[in-house]
Structure 1
Amino acid sequence: MPARYGGFETAVEEIGKRLAAAGHEITVYCRGERHPEPEYLGMRLVHLPAVKRKVAETLSHTGLSVLHAARRRPDAALVFNAANAPLLPVLRTLRIPVATHVDGLEWKRTKWSGTGQRYYRTAESLAVRWSDALISDALGIRDYYRERFGAESVFIAYGAPILEETDTAKLAEAGYAPGRFHLVVARFEPENHVHLAIEGYRRSAAREPLVIVGSAPYADEYTARLRELAGDDPRVTFLGGVWDQDLLDALYAGALTYVHGHSVGGTNPSLLRAMGAGASVLAYDVNFNREVLGEEAGRFFGDAASLAAAIEAAEADPGAAADRGGAARKRAAERYVWDDVAAAYERLCVDLKERRLTRRTVRPRD
Structure 2
Amino acid sequence: MAASEKKLKVAIMGAKGYPYVYGGYDTMIKELGERLVAKGVLVRVYNHRALFPEKPKFVNGIECIYTPAIETKSLTQLTHTFFSMIHACFSDVDVIFVVNSGNGPFGIISKIFRKPTAINVDGLEWLRPKWKGLGSKYFFWASKMATKFYDQVINDSDEMRRVYLELFKKDSKVIAYGANPKESVSAEPILKWNLISRGYYLIVGRLVPDNNADLIIEGFLKSNSDKTLVVVGDVPFADEWAIRLKNIQDHRLLFTGYVTDPNELAALYSHCYAYFHGHEFGGTNPAMLKALGYGCAILALDTPFNQEMLQNGKHGWYFEKNPMAVKSLVEKAESQPEKLENLRQTARLGLTQKYNWDYVTEQYLEIFQKLAKD
TM-score normalized by the length of structure 1: 0.93
Partner in structure 1 of residue 341 of structure 2: 322
- SS class of match (1:26): strand
* Whole-angstrom CA distance in 2 between matches of 1:247 and 1:52: 31
Partner in structure 2 of residue 267 of structure 1: 284
Does residue 299 (structure 1) correspond to residue 328 (structure 2)? The answer is: no
Give CA deviations for 1:23-75 in whole Å, capped at 9, x if unaligned: 00000111253265332232111222322222211111011111221232311
* Whole-angstrom CA distance in 2 between matches of 1:45 and 1:121: 31
| Distance change in 2, residues 1:3/1:290 (3 Å) | farther
- SS class of match (1:86): helix
| Among 19, 24, 49, the residue aligned to 1:2 | 19
- SS class of match (1:207): coil
- SS class of match (1:160): coil
Partner in structure 1 of residue 5 of structure 2: none
Which region of structure 1 is more displaced relative to structure 2, 48-57 or 112-121?
48-57
| Among 95, 99, 105, the residue aligned to 1:86 | 105
Q: How much is the aligned-residue C-alpha RMSD, in angstroms?
A: 1.5
* Whole-angstrom CA distance in 2 between matches of 1:89 and 1:36: 29
| Distance change in 2, residues 1:253/1:334 (3 Å) | farther
Q: How much does 1:217 deviate?
A: 2.7
| Distance change in 2, residues 1:2/1:175 (3 Å) | farther
Q: How much does 1:333 deviate?
A: 4.7
Which region of structure 1 is more displaced relative to structure 2, 29-38 or 131-140?
29-38
Does residue 342 (structure 1) correspond to residue 335 (structure 2)? The answer is: no
Q: How much does 1:170 deviate?
A: 1.8
Q: How much does 1:344 deviate?
A: 0.4
| Distance change in 2, residues 1:77/1:59 (3 Å) | same
Partner in structure 2 of residue 48 of structure 1: 67
Partner in structure 2 of residue 157 of structure 1: 176
* Whole-angstrom CA distance in 1 between matches of 2:186 and 2:371: 42
Partner in structure 1 of residue 8 of structure 2: none
* Whole-angstrom CA distance in 1 between matches of 2:191 and 2:55: 32
| Distance change in 2, residues 1:25/1:116 (3 Å) | same
| Among 227, 230, 247, the residue aligned to 1:208 | 227
* Whole-angstrom CA distance in 1 between matches of 2:333 and 2:62: 43
Partner in structure 2 of residue 364 of structure 1: none
AA aligned to 1:176 is L
Partner in structure 2 of residue 33 of structure 1: 51
Partner in structure 1 of residue 89 of structure 2: 70
Give CA deviations for 1:192-221 in whole Å, capped at 9, x if unaligned: 001011011101111110110111234611
* Whole-angstrom CA distance in 1 between matches of 2:251 and 2:46: 43
Does residue 289 (structure 1) correspond to residue 312 (structure 2)? The answer is: no
Partner in structure 2 of residue 99 of structure 1: 118
* Whole-angstrom CA distance in 2 between matches of 1:249 and 1:333: 21
AA aligned to 2:51 is E
| Distance change in 2, residues 1:40/1:178 (3 Å) | farther
Q: Is the 8 A contact 1:104 1:266 kept in 2?
A: yes
- SS class of match (2:344): helix
AA aligned to 2:72 is R
Which region of structure 1 is more displaced relative to structure 2, 320-329 or 27-36?
27-36
Q: How much does 1:174 deviate?
A: 3.9
AA aligned to 2:148 is R
Partner in structure 1 of residue 154 of structure 2: 135
- SS class of match (2:243): helix
Residues 185-264 of structure 1 correspond to what in structure 2 (within 5 A)?
185-218=204-237, 220-228=239-247, 230=248, 232-264=249-281
- SS class of match (2:283): coil
- SS class of match (1:72): coil
Unpaired segments ≥5 residues, structure 1: 356-366
| Distance change in 2, residues 1:307/1:219 (3 Å) | farther
Q: Is the 8 A contact 1:4 1:243 kept in 2?
A: no
* Whole-angstrom CA distance in 1 between matches of 2:40 and 2:369: 13
Which region of structure 1 is more displaced relative to structure 2, 92-101 or 48-57?
48-57
Q: How much does 1:85 deviate?
A: 1.7
| Among 271, 295, 300, the residue aligned to 1:278 | 295
Q: Is the 8 A contact 1:189 1:219 kept in 2?
A: no
AA aligned to 1:314 is A
| Among 31, 44, 58, the residue aligned to 1:14 | 31
Q: Is the 8 A contact 1:257 1:282 kept in 2?
A: yes
* Whole-angstrom CA distance in 2 between matches of 1:273 and 1:33: 25
Q: How much does 1:164 deviate?
A: 2.1
* Whole-angstrom CA distance in 2 between matches of 1:219 and 1:307: 28
* Whole-angstrom CA distance in 1 between matches of 2:298 and 2:128: 23
**What is the count of residue pairs matched by the alignment?**
353
| Among 69, 80, 91, the residue aligned to 1:61 | 80
* Whole-angstrom CA distance in 2 between matches of 1:53 and 1:184: 28
Unpaired segments ≥5 residues, structure 2: 1-17
